[in-house]
Structures are given as C-alpha cells and as structure tokens.
Amino acid sequence: MPLWPVYTGTKQPHDAVTELPAPPPWRAFDGGPALRTPADAADTSATSPDRAHRAATYQATPQTVQLVNAALYLRRPLLVTGPPGTGKSSLAYAVARELRLGPVLRWNITSRSALHDGLYQYDPLSRLYAARQAAAIEPGAPGAPAAASESGIEDHLRLGPLGTALLPYARPRALLIDEIDKSDLDLPNDLLNVLEEGQFEIPELVRASRHTPSAQVMVDGTHERVPVTHGRVRCRAFPFVVLTSNGEREFPPAFLRRCVTLRLRQPDDSHLAEIVRAHLGEPDVYARTLITRFLSRVGGGELATDQLLNAIYLARSSDLSPESLDDLAEQLMPYLSEAPQTDAF
C-alpha cells in the first residue's frame, strides 16, 4: 500500500516523498532530463536563520497534515487562507524542511505582479549593450568574446520562482506564492494554464532554438544554470505550490476547483501553548496568563499569533513590574482591523 501520510508534521526530515504513488493520469508529467534537487532545506546554511526557525518550529494541525498530503498526492496547488499570523507562509518552509524539497522558492505578490514576473525575466537592453560592446572589439583581440553565444539570450535571462519550480526536478520543489489575493484580478486566471499543464515556453528562446536548440539559463535565487531545450520548461515532479490568501477577495470557481483549499483559524489555547513552547520554551505562569487574555480578545477583532509571541518574549527579557508588563502587552497586541473594542488587559 502507498505511504500515507508522506508529510507527517513531526518536523523530522526524511525522504518519504520518493514513495509518493504515481500521480493521477490527468496529472502526470514527463519533463526531463531529471535535475538534482538543490541543497536541502533542512540545512540551515541553505536558507536564512528566520526561515529555518519558522520551518523547525511550525505546529501543524491534523487538518493541515491531511490537506498537505492531499495536495502532494493529487499534484495540485494548496490554497491556504486565514487571518494574519496563523502560519500560512511558514507552512511551505515546514513541508520543504521535512520532505527535503530544497530551499523554498518564494514569489511575493503585489497589485502589479503579472504571470511573466513569476516565469522569467529577460533584459533586452542589457543584451543590446553587450552586443554593441562585442561588435566594438576586434575578433581575436584581448577581451573579445570567445564565441557569439557568450552574449546570447541566455546571458540576459533568468527564470523566476514559478519558472524554476517547473523545471524537471526529480523530486518536487516547494513554491510559495504569497498573498495571491493582493494580485491584479487577472493573475489567478493567468496561472490556471501554467499550473494545469505544468509547463510554459520562453518565446525568446523558442525563436533562437533553430540555431541554439539548448540554452543554459540561470534559475531563481542562485547563479546555477540549467539546460532549457527549444525554449520549453516542463516539470517532471509537480512542485508543492502553496498560495496564501488573507481572504481579502474571492477567487473564480475555475481557479478554486484546481486547488486543494486549507482554511486556517486562530489556534485554541492548547495549540497556542504548543506554538509558544516551540518558539520560546515551556510557557511560565505569566505566559499562560497572556495566552488566556489573548484568546479572550480574539472575538473582538483580528489578532496575530506573533503579537502574542512578541509580548511573551519581552516579558521574559525584561525586569518590568507586572503592571508595566500588562500595559506593554496591551500596546503590542492592538487589533489589526476595525472591530468592537473589548476590555483592556
């Protein structure tokens, strides 16, 4: 029988992702040749300390574990919605760390983001400048390019986070598309075909493929180059794609039906205690008091878990009186959205 769950939420890195069953027939991909996965995400030298900490301390709920595995098995993007501070973006780092998927590829969405930004960036002006420089140097002279390809298109093109995730890696890469609800109205629909087909073309390389069938293209986040043949990028193992949303807009049905949707809610008292324990050690008496007060305020407006963590950290790192600590905690945990006010601490 196939292994379930592949992702366990236990935070212990392992290679069970290689035991995923074959994809559904409608989600099978055949890109190649297979590429080696970059440095492991469990290696803290391969990522920033804050992201490594988030990955190692993430507290997954049973529902999260189930739906992450559903997305992995079905080769579908995971749309994660919920209020700020519930760990939506941290989930991608936690899964990448446990399943050894390499460094997380991150695409931060703004109102100006377009599909092209996630796939690749091409700078025609730098290529024109390089071509003029090359033309000004007499062939064979010192500094002259050894071959025309040295100033070719591939030297002025880099894959974006989405484009890199769709390379034919032997195991899935992890891609975080953060705050998709902040995008232009067209972006979710523009993503449909790429995420459905698991491939895209780079027109600049397609046009040059008659003379240069294969180009060595830089990937997102590093100076590593990978071969792209005939201008087409096609995945082999569909990436683990996490799209986060704060619920600021609704998405079209065609987009939603192609995603596995995980709705995160504010954690309860036991889950909050686990989160505090993972980040700051065993909660003391005052920390548990802050947890209780935090939960009592949740119904009155929007709060984020990291506000609570900030208050507990400062309480442990200072010698303020209890009255001063209460006042500081109140100032550190204001509501993030307009809501009826409740009693202060």
The total number of structural domains that make up the chain: 2
| 279 assigned to some structural domain | yes
Does residue 312 fall inside a structural domain?
Answer: yes
Tell me the pTM.
0.87
* Share of residues in the chain with pLDDT > 90 (%): 64
Sequence-distant (6+) residues with CB within 8 A of 79 are 180, 243, 245, 251, 256, 259, 260, 261, 262
Tens of pLDDT, residues 106-135: 999 999 999 999 999 987 666 666 666 666
226, 241, 263 - which closes a domain: 263
Report which residue type is found at 165: A
Residue 311 class from Cβ within 10 Å (0-12 exposed, 13-18 middle, 19+ buried)? buried
Tokens of 141: 């002279």
- My answer on whether 191 and 285 are in the same domain is no
By CB neighbour count within 10 A (0-12 exposed, 13-18 middle, 19+ buried), where does 230 fall? Answer: middle
- Examine the domain organization and report whether 181 and 292 are in the same domain: no
Out of 29-33, 163-167, 186-190, 266-270, least confident range: 266-270
Tens digits of per-residue pLDDT, 33-51?
999 988 765 665 556 788 8
CATH number of the domain bearing residue 213 = 3.40.50.300
* 247 and 114 within one domain: yes
Mean pLDDT, rounded, for 310-332: 89
Is residue 9 situated within a structural domain? no
Between 9 and 340, the more confident residue is: 9
Confidence tier at 31 by pLDDT (50, 70, 90): very high
Q: Out of 45-49, 67-71, 200-204, 314-318, pick the least confident.
A: 45-49
Tens digit of each residue's pLDDT (9 = 90 or more) over 3-22: 889 999 998 999 999 999 99
Is 343 part of any domain?
no
- Kindly report the average pLDDT of the chain as a whole number: 88
Instruction: Among 245, 263, 281, identify where a domain stops.
Output: 263
Residues 68 and 194 in one domain: yes
**Do residues 160 and 255 both lie within one domain?**
yes
Give me the long-range contacts of 256-261 (CB less than 8 A, separation at least 24).
256/79, 258/76, 258/77, 258/192, 258/195, 258/196, 259/76, 259/77, 259/78, 259/79, 260/67, 260/70, 260/71, 260/74, 260/76, 260/77, 260/78, 260/79, 261/67, 261/78, 261/79, 261/81
Domain boundary among 247, 263, 279: 263
pLDDT at 7: 97
- Is residue 99 within 8 A of residue 14, CB to CB? The reply is yes
Note whether 39 and 168 are same-domain residues. yes
Is 337 part of a structural domain of the chain?
no
Q: Indicate if 179 and 276 belong to the same structural domain.
A: no
State the average pLDDT over residues 47-74.
92
Same domain, yes or no, for 73 and 175? Answer: yes
Q: Are 175 and 238 in contact (CB under 8 A)?
A: no
Query: Among 23-27, 80-84, 299-303, where is mean pLDDT lowest?
Result: 299-303
Does the residue 251 lie in any domain?
yes
266 vs 27, residue with greater confidence: 27
Tell me if 338 is assigned to some domain. no
Convert the pLDDT of each residue in 170-180 to its tens digit.
999 999 999 99
Q: Are residues 289 and 254 in the same domain?
A: no
Handedness of CA 314, 320, 322, 323 (dihedral sign): negative
207 and 237 belong to one structural domain: yes
Containing structural domain, residue 244 = 16-263
Same domain flag for 61 and 141: yes
Mean pLDDT across the stretch 277-301? Answer: 90
Q: How many CB atoms lie within 10 A of CB 153?
A: 19
Q: Is residue 345 included in any domain, yes or no?
A: no
